[in-house]
Amino acid sequence: MRRCANYHHGWWVPERPLTPIGAQMNIGYALAVAVLDGAALVPQFAPSRIDADDVWALLPRIAVRHDPEFDAGGQRGRGRVRLAVTFTDGQRIEVNRQMSRAIESPQSNAQVSAKYRALTDGLIDTQRQAAIQAMVTNLEQVDDVRELLALLAPPVKSPFE
C-alpha cells in the first residue's frame, strides 16, 4: 500500500528557526497562519511572519494525524474528514473534501483575477499588474505574445521585504 505523500512529506513538529521553504512544506505552520491571518499566501511565508510569537504559540495546539484510509484511494479513501477543529469551548467543526476544492468547485475568472492581484500586490506596480491581467484574460485576442513576455520579463520586488 502506498503512503499518503501529504502526511509523509508535510508533517513534522516544526522548530525555530524555520525557513520559508520549511514553512511552506509544513502542514501545521500553514494551518496556523491560515487560522491567524485568514490566508496562507506569500506574506505568511516571510521570515518575519514565520518567526512571530503568535504562530509559535498556536503550533503546539495543532495535531496532524495519519489516517491509513486516505492511502487506499478510491472509494475507501474518499469522503473522510480531512480537517477537524476543536475550540476551547468544546465546539467542533469538521471539513470534508472529496477532492481538491479547486476541482470540486473551480474558481471563476473574477476569483482567479482577485487571487492574482493578491499574490502580486506590492511586487509589481499596479499598471504592470493590470496590463498582465488584461492580456491574460483576453489571451485569445493577443496577436503577438511578445508584448505579454515583455510585461512578464522585468524583475519583481522580493515578497519578503
The predicted-structure confidence for 104-120, as pLDDT tens digits, reads as follows 788 899 999 999 999 99
Which contacts qualify for 113-121: CB closer than 8 Å, 24 or more apart? 113/137, 118/39, 118/41, 119/41, 119/42, 120/156
Give the residue numbers spanning the domain of 117.
109-152
Give the chain's domain count. 2
Task: Write down how long the chain is.
Answer: 161
Single pTM value for the model: 0.72
* Section 23-45 average pLDDT: 93
Q: 77 and 121 share a domain? A: no
Q: Say whether pLDDT at 79 is over 70.
A: no
Are 90 and 136 members of one domain?
A: no
Q: In the predicted model, what is the mean pLDDT of residues 23-33? A: 94
Residue 76 has pLDDT above 60, yes or no: no
- Domain-located, residue 79: yes
Asked whether residue 91 falls in the same domain as residue 141, the answer is no
| 60, pLDDT greater than 50 | yes
Distance CA 37, CA 35 (A): 6
